[in-house]
């Protein structure tokens, strides 16, 4: 009798722990936030043309922004919690549109976006650059759940390459829209 009661208790704890909290983000998240994500990406693309950078938050409450400005020789990181003055000085130096930068920051906060960046990969002889936006994927209050991040990948054009096709077949890269994919990663950058 004690064994049955213990098993029932164990099942109840397991079901309770894994059914609580926020759902994992998926293709549904993209569809529900498609317009806001497109707006965020357009703000970023416009600002990126001024001077390449990435941006995100340094904290879970989305209070402190971080901006990584990339030049030919240097990658500088500025945060609003410790280097706000230097960040503002560099925003002015590189002549970023401050109104657009503020709109982008507010949109990131609204979407709870952790990081926004562009990256380049080589597929054989072809250099491919794409934008990615990352989010916390699972709630941190769930026990026994590894910290994972939901990452949206925005392509500028269709990429036909065996590596990409293989990642799609294996489910590592999941199409959610034309030229938009999502993946789950262990890092948000």
Average pLDDT, whole number, for the chain?
80
- The Cα angle at residue 99 between residues 97 and 103, in degrees rounded to 5: 115
Q: Over 80: is that where the pLDDT of 106 sits? A: yes
- C-alpha closest to that of 90 among 79, 100, 105, 103: 79
Residue 26's pLDDT is 66
- Largest distance between two CA atoms of the chain: 74
* Alpha-carbon distance values, 16 to 19, 25, 38, 128 (Å): 5, 20, 36, 44
Which class for 96: exposed (0-12), middle (13-18), buried (19 or more C-beta within 10 A)? Answer: buried
Q: Over 70: is that where the pLDDT of 171 sits? A: yes
Task: For residue 149, list its beta bridge partners.
Answer: 136, 185
Q: Over 70: is that where the pLDDT of 129 sits? A: yes
Residue 76's pLDDT is 80
Q: Over 50: is that where the pLDDT of 7 sits? A: no
Q: Over 60: is that where the pLDDT of 147 sits? A: yes
pLDDT tens readout for residues 15-67: 333 333 444 466 788 899 999 999 999 999 999 999 999 999 888 778 889 99
Average pLDDT (75-100) is: 88
């Amino acid at each position: 009798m004690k064994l049955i009661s213990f098993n029932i208790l164990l099942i109840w704890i397991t079901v309770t722990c894994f059914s609580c909290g926020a759902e994992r983000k998926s293709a549904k998240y993209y569809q529900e936030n498609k317009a806001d994500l497109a707006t965020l990406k357009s703000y970023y693309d416009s600002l990126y043309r001024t001077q390449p950078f990435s941006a995100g938050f340094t904290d879970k409450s989305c209070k402190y922004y971080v901006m990584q400005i990339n030049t030919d020789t240097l990658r500088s990181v500025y945060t609003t919690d410790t280097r706000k003055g230097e960040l503002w000085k560099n925003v002015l130096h590189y002549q970023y549109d401050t109104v657009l930068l503020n709109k982008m920051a507010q949109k990131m906060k609204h979407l709870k976006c952790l990081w926004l960046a562009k990256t380049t990969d080589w597929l054989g002889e072809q250099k491919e650059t794409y934008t990615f936006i990352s989010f916390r994927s699972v709630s941190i209050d769930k026990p026994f759940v590894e910290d994972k991040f939901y990452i949206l990948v925005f392509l500028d054009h269709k990429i036909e390459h065996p590596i990409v096709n293989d990642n799609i077949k294996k489910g590592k890269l999941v199409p959610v829209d034309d030229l938009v994919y999502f993946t789950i990663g262990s890092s948000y950058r």
